[in-house]
Structure 1
Amino acid sequence: MSGQKLSFFLLVSFLAAATTAQWIDSPADLFSSFHKSLSDLASKGVEDMLADEAAEVGVKDKSREELEKVDDDNKDESASQESAEDDDKSSVNPLLTSTDDFFSLFPNIFRVLQSPALKPWWQGDNVCKETEEKEEKGEDAHPFLIGKAHFSSCKYMPNKYECITEVRERGKPTKKTIVTYRCCHGYKVKPGTQSCQAAETKPIEELAKELGAEKFLDMVKQEEMLEAIKGAKTVFMPKDEAMDEFLNKEAVATNEIERSALDKKAIILNHIIPEIKETSDMQDNMVLKAEDGFGLRLSSYPGGVVTVNCIPINETDKETEDGVVHTVEGVLTPIKHDITEILSQEKFSKFRDLLKEHNLWDTLTGESAFTVFAVNNEGVDKLDPSSSMCLGTILRHHIVPITVCSKAAPASGKKISMADLGSSWLHMANKDDQLMLDDKAVIITRDIVAKNGVVHEVDQFVVPTSGQPASELMRRTKHTRFLDLLEKAGLRSEVDKRKDVTVFIPVEDSLNELEALEPEKLKEALLLHIVPHKLTSYDLRNNSTLETALNDAKLSVSASKNILSSLIGSQSPMTVQCIPLTRVDGRVCNGYAHEIKRPVQIATGTILDMIQNDESLATFREILQGTKLEEQLKAGLPKHITLLAPTDVAFKDLSDEKLEKLKTDKEFADKVLRDHVINDTLCCSGVGASSWPFISTVRTSSGKELETDRSKGRVMFGRFSVTSCDKITKDGIVHKIDGVLLPPERHPQREIIFKRPNSEIILAGFK
C-alpha cells in the first residue's frame, strides 16, 4: 500500500473511531478500537475491498429507469442535456460507480445523527408504470439545434409521479416519452407514509348506495347495463337529487332536446369513460370521450370548483373493485350541437346577424372552446344607436376564448373576471338571486353546453370601456374642458365617428390659451391633436412623425430610452412635439387616447428662420454665416437635429481674441459649431439625471461625446445649462444654452486621469 493510501486510511480510521467515542467507556477502550481498525485494514488490501464491492454492485438491480434517479428528494425537477451521440452509448463501468458504496464500509462520520433518506413511494412496491410515446411535428423544427438534445422534467403529485423526456433533433419531429408511476389500483399513498398501501375498494353497487347515487344505478339495472359500468372505467355518477330533477322535468334544458328523443342507454353511456381517470389526471379544458362517443369537457375555477359539461363534480376518486367513481350534481346528457348551431335559434337571430356582419361568425366554428354571452332579440333592440360605430368591439366583449360555466361565479357574490376577445375584462357575479354580467346584463338562461364551449343567454348588451367613443372616455376621466372645446369647434363627431383615431388630450389646467382662440383658429389647433390612425404607446417610435387631421401638419415623436437614467430611477418620458405624455393607452372603440402635459403647437419655420428672428442669438447668427453648417441647414440637411444655441450673454464670457477668431475664421467656427449640433431630436424632458459612474452622453455632429445631466431642475449639456427649452421647428429642435462649447485647451505638464459629470480632476505633473 502506498504512503498516500496508508495516510488516507489512517485518517479515516481515526475519525471512525472518534465518532464512536461516546459509546466507549474508557480511553483504553478507545485505543483498543482504533488499534483493531488498523489491524483489519492492514490485513486487507484496497484492491480486495474494491473487488468485493464490484461483486456486490454486480448483483444489484440496475434495470430502474434513469428517470427514477432524477427526483430522489420528492420535488419537481428539470434537467436538460445536449449530445450528438445516441442514448445507448452511456453505459458506465460499475467499478467507477461504487465509490459511495466503498465509503459505506466506514461509519457515517459527518452525519452520525441524521436519519437515512426515505425511499420515494414510486420506487417501492405496488407501483404501476405506464409509458406513452408520441411525436410532435412542426415546420422547420429546431433550426438552430446542433446534434441531439434531451430535455427531461418530472412532476410529483400525491398519487402520481410523471416524467416527460423530449428528444429534439434538427429537422426532425420532437419525440416525447411520458413515463407515469402511480399506485396500482387498490393501493394509495396514505398521509404520513412513503409507500403504496392497500386501500379499501367496494363493489360499485355498495359504493353507489354509500354515495347517495342509487337511482342512477337503478336506471342502469333497468336497462340491463350493469356490466357496462364495471371494469377499468371511470363513471360520473349523478346524485339521487339530480336524478329526481332530471326525471321530473318535462324537457331537458341543456340542449332543449325533448326527453322522448333521449335514449336512456345513451345517457348511461355518456357517464362512462372507458379508462380510469383520477383527479390527478384531469386538466382544465380537457375533453374526455365517453362510451357513446360524445365529449365531456372538464373545467376548473377558483375555489376548487371543477365541472364536467358545466355540472359540478362532488366526491372524487372513489375506487370500485376495478374502476373509479366521481359523483356529479346533474345528469350528463349527450352534447350534439356546436355554438353556431345553438345560435341558429330564432331568439338569437339578430345577434347572429351582427356576428356575421362583423366577421366573428367563423371564429366560433372549429374545435377551440369559447363562451358566448348571446343577447336575445329583445336585448339587441335596446342598444343605443350611438354605439353603432363601436359594435365590433362590443360584440367581441361578449365572446371569451375559454369555457366559463355559471358555477364559476361564487355563491358569495364575489366576481369572477375573464378576458374577452379584445383583451378587455368581463365580470360575472351572483347578485340578488340573479347571475349578472358586469352588473348590467342579467343571464336569463345559463349553461347551454356546446361541443366547443358554452352559451349563456343575456337580456342586453354590455358595453366595455374600450367600446365607448372618445367623448365618453373624456367625460369619465374628467377632461370636460377639452371636450367642450371639441363641441365648440364642431369636432366631437370627428373624434367619435372616425374609423381609426388617436387623440392627444391636454391636461385640464393647460387649456387657457386654447379657450381664448377664435373658432377658426381653435379648430386648427384642435385638429393638431387628432391623428387618423390607431396608435398605442408602443407604436410611437423615436424620431417618427405622425400625420394629423390638419392638412399637412405633422407631429414629431421622441421616445428615446435612456437606460442609464432608468438605473437611477429617472427614465426619460415619451414626448410629442417635446410635450411629455403623462398617461397613455386609454382605449376607445375606434382607437386610443393619450394625455399630454400641455396643448400641441404647430411647428413654424426652420432652424435658420428661428435663429434669424431671435434677437438673443445675434452673435451666434453672425458666427454661423458663411460656414458649411449654414449651407447644410439651408439645404435641409441633416434632418431631425437638435441645436444647442449659445445666447449673446454666453459669448460675453469668451476672450476678445477667441470671439474674434470665431467670427473671422470660418473653418474654426464650423468646427466649434458642429459641437453644438446633435444628430437626433432630444427634448429637454429626454435628458435624465446622470450619476457617476453612469454618465449619459450624446454624440455631436463632430463625432464627440457630450455629457448630459439634469441637476436641481436644470438641464445640462457639458458644463452649461439650458436657458430656454424645446423651440420646435420643421427640421429640428433648438435649445438655448448659457455657454459656448469650445474644444478643451491642453494644460502643460498636466494629465487628466479621471472624469466626473461636468468636472475634471487633474493631477499636476512634476519635473
Structure 2
Amino acid sequence: MHRVALLLGLLFVTVHGLRNVDYHYDEFFPSAKAFSEDLEGASSDVETATKDREDLSPNYKDPSPNTAEEIPEKKPKETPNHDTSLLQGGVIEVNAGEGPTGFNPFGGLPGFGKFPGLFSFGGLFGSDGPNFQPWWKGDHVCVEREESTDDEDKSNSNSSAESSKRKNQTENVFSTSISLSNCFETANKYECITKVNNHGIVKTFTVRYKCCYGYKRKEGASGCTEEVELKPLLDTINDVGGKEFSNLIKTTGLEDKFKNENITVFVPSDEALSEFTDRMLELNQVDVYRRRRDARNALSSHDLVLSHITPGFIDLNDLNNEDVLLGEKEKNSIRINAYPTKNFGKMITANCVRVTKENNLASNGIAHVVDGVIAPATQSLREIIDQHPQLTYFRRLLEKTDLAKNLKDDGHFTIFAPTDEGFNSLDEKTRQKIMRGEQCAKNIVKNHVILHTVCSSAIVGNATTHNVAGDSLNFERTDDGSISIDGKAKIIKKDIVAKNGVIQLIDKILVPESALLISEILEKQNFTKFRQLIDEAGLTSEIDSSENATVFVPSDEALSQPEAVKILDSVKGDKEKLKELIQYHTIGKKLESCDMNNNQMIKTNDGEQELRLNLYSTVPLFANIINRATVNCARLIGYDEKACGSVVHEVNKVLVPPTDTVFDIVNSNENYSTLAEIIKGTEAEEILKQSNQSITLVAPTNEAFEKLEPDDLKKLKDDKDKANVFVKNHILSEVLCCAGVSSQGWGFNNMIPTVSEHQVQISKNENGDIRVGKAQITECDNVATNGVVHTINRVLLPRRTRVPNIGFFLFDI
C-alpha cells in the first residue's frame, strides 16, 4: 500500500513539476532519465557524454571502454517513411526503417515506454530481487556508441534570421543543458537513445549493447554466455545444408573469395538449388545455372553466386524492413523485408526469397539460409516494364497517364501488373477508352500500385493491404498455392524483383469502383429503379460523361414508398419533367462527406434549383462530432460511393424542389388557419416570409388551438404583441429535420434556441416519436425554400427557461 502511495506521489511530482515548462516534444523523446535505478549501466555511459558538457565539441566522440570487444561497424541507413496499416492474415504494412512487431517496442505501459525500476516488476515492486542484473550487464556484451547533431541539416537550410529566432526561443526555455533518454530492449539488443539540448544544439547519443561476435544469449542467463564455434565460412555453409551451393562456389572459382574475405551470404538450401537446376534444364538452357530473359540479362553460374553475397558481417536482427544491401555483383542489390507473423514472430525475405535460418556465424562471415535462389535485382521497375514482352499495354498506360515518373528509383513499390492477355480480356470499347486515358485510367493504374514491398511468400491465408489511392486490396492464398486479388485476378508470375520494388504479374485488370461510370456503380449497388429512371429520361450518357459530379440516389425502398410513387406518377409520360426530377438529384461538383457543411445550399443541375444540406451530431457531450446528414430533410444513409470522377450518396427519400416559403405553407393549409390568423400582422410574419432565412416552424393545428381556454385564444388573436411572442416561440433559429433528432440517454437534453431567444427541448423516444416541449410532432419535414415546417398537436406557451440538469445545443454547429 505504501509503495502504491509512493508511486502516485512520484507521478504527481513529475507531472506537477513539468506542467509549466514548454518542452518541445517534437524534438525530443519522452524522458526516462528520472527512472535510472535499473538503467545504471546505460546511464553511466550516457552521462559520460552529457555531464558538465556546456561546451560540446562538434567533433566529440564518446570513448569506447577498453573492455569492449570490437565488432564490425555498421552505418545507419536512412529510409523513407510511409503510412502503416494492419493487414488481415499474413501481411502487415510495415514502415521502412521499423521492425515488424505490432507491440510497443519500448515495453512497459503503452505510450510511456519501458521505465526499469518503476513500472517493471523490479524496482519499487521488488519482484526482481535486490540482486537482479539485466542480461546486458553480463559477460561478453559489447557496446557500440554513436553521436550525431540533429540540427546540422536544418541550420544549413534555414535563413540566419529564422535560425536566430529559433535559438532565442530555445534559450528562453532551456537555460541549461537538458537530456531526455529512452531505452528499449529486444531479444538480442539493449539500446538507449539520449537527446541533449545544450543552448539550442541538439545532439543524439546512442549506446547499444549486444552480444559480442561469437557469443549468444542463453535463456535465463546474464550476459552472452554461450560461445559459438566459429568455423570458416565454407564449412558453415556445408553445415547449414548448403552443400550444393558450396560445390557451385568451388566450380566457379570463387573458393578463395569465401576463404579470405569477410562475407555475408544467403545460402540456397540443397533442395532449393536442385529445384532451380531442374527448372533451368526444362527450359533447355545451355548453362545449367543460367537464366535468361534475353541475351543482355544472361545470368552465369559465377554471377549467380555473387548475387547471393554482400560484403561484411550483416546480422539480420540489426536491419529494418525495406533495407537494401549492395551485392558483390555490379549494380546488384538485395532488399530485406520483415513481415509479422502470429505470436509476434516475423518472416524475413531477401529479394522476396524466404529466410529459413538466419545468423549462422562463421569466422569470416555470416550465413543465412534461404528457401530459393535469389534473383539479382539489377534493373528498376520502369526498366523491367519497358522490356517485358507481356507488359506492352501496361507500359503504354503508364505513359498515357504520366504516372511512370512517380516510380522513383529510391522507393519501394509493389506493382500488380496486368499482362497483355489481361487487357485483351476486356471488351473492345472499354479497353480502347482505358488506353486513350479515359474512364479514369489514372485511378486504374493507382489501383495496381502499393507503396511498400509485398512478396508473394508474405501472403498467408487471407491478407489485406492498401494501394496508393488509399483503397484496400484483398488477397487470398488457396490450398494449391495460387493467390487471388479481390476475387478478380490471380498472380500468374510471382516476385519479379527490381532495385526499387517488385512486380507481380496478374491475369486480369483490377478496375476499382473509382474508375467505374456512374451507371455502372448504380447497377453494382443495386439502385435498379433510379438507374431505370435515368435511362427513361435519356440521361445515361450525359451522367456517365460527367466529371466532378455528385448524385443523391434514392434507394429502391425509398422509390417504393407511397409518397414517392405519387411523385413518379405525376411525371409519368412526361420525359422533360422526369429529366428535371433526375437532374435535381445531381450537382455539378464532387462533394464528399468530408467536404459537407451545415446549412449548405447547393445548386443542382436542374437550372437554378438548390438543395439544402444539414449536418447533425447525435453523440451526447460531443456536439462537434458530426455523424448524420440530411438533404432537403432526406437522410443520407450511404456515403461516398466513388465513381469515375464523381461520388454517389444514398438517400431515403425522393428529392423534390420546394416552391413555397414557410409563410406560404401555413397560409395554404386549412389545418393551420388559426395559426395563420394569429401570425397575420406580427413581426414574426416577416420572418416567415423572408427567403434568406433558415428556420424551423413547429406549427400547431387548429385542433391544438381548440385545447386552449377561449379567453387565451382570443387574447392571442387580438393582442399582436402577445401573438408575436407566441409565434416566435414556435420558430426555431435553425433548420431541424426529423432525421436530425436522435434518442438521448438519461440526463441529456437537446436544447434548441428559438428566434425569441428562448430554448425548447427536443426529445425522441424508443418508438421514434419526437416531442417539442410537451407537444408531439405528428407530421414531419414539410420542406420550404427558407426552412421546414413540422406539425405539432399542442401549442408551446412561452415560459421562463429552467436550467436543465445537463443541456447543450445539439445542433449549434
TM-score tier after normalising by the smaller chain length = 0.7 to 0.9
Alignment counterpart, residue 379 of structure 1, candidates 417, 422, 425: 422
Offset, 1:254: 7.8
Give 2:443's aligned residue.
393
Offset, 1:182: 0.5
Give 1:147's aligned residue.
173
1:480 and 2:528 matched: yes
Deviations 1:348-378 (A, max 9, x none): 2322221222232212134221111222334
Give 1:199's aligned residue.
227
Offset, 1:564: 1.6
The separation in 2 between residues aligned to 1:723 and 1:439, in whole angstroms, is: 49
CA spacing shift, 1:331–1:339, aligned 2, 3 Å: same
Offset, 1:116: 4.2
Offset, 1:297: 1.0
- CA-based RMSD of the aligned residues comes to 3.8
The separation in 1 between residues aligned to 2:311 and 2:109, in whole angstroms, is: 32
Deviations 1:109-140 (A, max 9, x none): x98x9854531101222111112233555688
Select the structure of larger CA radius of gyration: 1
Alignment counterpart, residue 608 of structure 2, candidates 526, 541, 552: 552
Deviations 1:166-188 (A, max 9, x none): 45799x68644332211111111
Alignment counterpart, residue 688 of structure 1, candidates 742, 745, 751: 742
Offset, 1:76: 4.9
Instruction: Tell me if structure 2 keeps the 8 A contact 1:500–1:534.
Output: yes
1:364 and 2:401 matched: no
Alignment counterpart, residue 296 of structure 1, candidates 331, 334, 352: 334
CA spacing shift, 1:154–1:375, aligned 2, 3 Å: same
CA spacing shift, 1:600–1:400, aligned 2, 3 Å: same
Instruction: Tell me if structure 2 keeps the 8 A contact 1:565–1:688.
Output: no
Give 1:408's aligned residue.
458
Counterparts of residues 28-177 of structure 1 (less than 5 Å): 64-65=44-45, 75-76=107-108, 115-116=129-130, 118-136=132-150, 147=173, 151-167=180-196, 175-177=203-205
The separation in 2 between residues aligned to 1:530 and 1:169, in whole angstroms, is: 61
Alignment counterpart, residue 468 of structure 2, candidates 421, 425, 432: 421
1:531 and 2:587 matched: yes
Give 2:559's aligned residue.
511
Instruction: Tell me if structure 1 keeps the 8 A contact 2:728–2:754.
Output: yes
Alignment counterpart, residue 363 of structure 2, candidates 317, 321, 326: 321
CA spacing shift, 1:737–1:127, aligned 2, 3 Å: same
Offset, 1:477: 3.2
Give 2:700's aligned residue.
646
The separation in 1 between residues aligned to 2:804 and 2:467, in whole angstroms, is: 58
The secondary structure found in structure 1 opposite 2:234 is: helix
The separation in 2 between residues aligned to 1:451 and 1:538, in whole angstroms, is: 38
CA spacing shift, 1:224–1:397, aligned 2, 3 Å: closer
The secondary structure found in structure 2 opposite 1:223 is: coil
The separation in 2 between residues aligned to 1:481 and 1:675, in whole angstroms, is: 43
The separation in 1 between residues aligned to 2:398 and 2:147, in whole angstroms, is: 42
The separation in 2 between residues aligned to 1:357 and 1:157, in whole angstroms, is: 48
Give 1:11's aligned residue.
none
CA spacing shift, 1:737–1:114, aligned 2, 3 Å: same
Give the unaligned 5+ runs of structure 2. Answer: 1-36, 49-104, 114-122, 434-438, 808-813
Alignment counterpart, residue 456 of structure 1, candidates 504, 514, 524: 504
1:740 and 2:795 matched: yes
1:497 and 2:545 matched: yes
The secondary structure found in structure 2 opposite 1:277 is: coil
What letter corresponds to residue 237 of structure 1 in structure 2? V
The separation in 2 between residues aligned to 1:229 and 1:147, in whole angstroms, is: 58
1:187 and 2:215 matched: yes
The separation in 2 between residues aligned to 1:683 and 1:595, in whole angstroms, is: 17
What letter corresponds to residue 173 of structure 2 in structure 1? G
Offset, 1:691: 4.2
The separation in 2 between residues aligned to 1:456 and 1:274, in whole angstroms, is: 29
Deviations 1:153-208 (A, max 9, x none): 322211111223345799x6864433221111111111232331132223122211
CA spacing shift, 1:335–1:755, aligned 2, 3 Å: closer
Offset, 1:418: 2.2
Give 1:235's aligned residue.
265
Identical-residue share of aligned pairs (%): 31
Alignment counterpart, residue 606 of structure 1, candidates 661, 665, 679: 661
What letter corresponds to residue 646 of structure 2 in structure 1? G
The secondary structure found in structure 1 opposite 2:358 is: coil
The secondary structure found in structure 2 opposite 1:600 is: coil
CA spacing shift, 1:118–1:550, aligned 2, 3 Å: same
The secondary structure found in structure 1 opposite 2:338 is: strand
Give 1:306's aligned residue.
348
Instruction: Tell me if structure 1 keeps the 8 A contact 2:42–2:207.
Output: no
CA spacing shift, 1:634–1:509, aligned 2, 3 Å: closer
What letter corresponds to residue 557 of structure 1 in structure 2? L
CA spacing shift, 1:175–1:552, aligned 2, 3 Å: farther
Give 2:53's aligned residue.
none
Instruction: Tell me if structure 2 keeps the 8 A contact 1:507–1:597.
Output: yes
The separation in 1 between residues aligned to 2:47 and 2:306, in whole angstroms, is: 38
Offset, 1:426: 2.4
What letter corresponds to residue 530 of structure 1 in structure 2? T
Comparing 284-293 and 520-529, the one that deviates more: 284-293
Give 1:284's aligned residue.
321
The secondary structure found in structure 1 opposite 2:660 is: coil
Comparing 223-232 and 210-219, the one that deviates more: 223-232
Give 1:5's aligned residue.
none
CA spacing shift, 1:481–1:452, aligned 2, 3 Å: same
Give 2:84's aligned residue.
none
The higher relative CO (CA closer than 8 Å, separation ≥ 6) is in 2
Give 2:634's aligned residue.
579
CA spacing shift, 1:290–1:580, aligned 2, 3 Å: same
The separation in 1 between residues aligned to 2:443 and 2:145, in whole angstroms, is: 47
The separation in 1 between residues aligned to 2:324 and 2:392, in whole angstroms, is: 29
CA spacing shift, 1:211–1:700, aligned 2, 3 Å: same
Instruction: Tell me if structure 2 keeps the 8 A contact 1:255–1:335.
Output: no
Q: TM-score, normalised by structure 2?
A: 0.72
Q: How many residues align?
A: 656
Alignment counterpart, residue 447 of structure 1, candidates 495, 502, 506: 495
Give 1:103's aligned residue.
none
Deviations 1:466-515 (A, max 9, x none): 43333333333333222222222223333333223322222223324155
Give the unaligned 5+ runs of structure 1. Answer: 1-56, 82-107, 747-751, 758-767
The secondary structure found in structure 1 opposite 2:672 is: helix
The separation in 1 between residues aligned to 2:486 and 2:804, in whole angstroms, is: 63
What letter corresponds to residue 762 of structure 2 in structure 1? T
What letter corresponds to residue 538 of structure 1 in structure 2? C
Deviations 1:568-603 (A, max 9, x none): xx9973211111122323233333322222211211
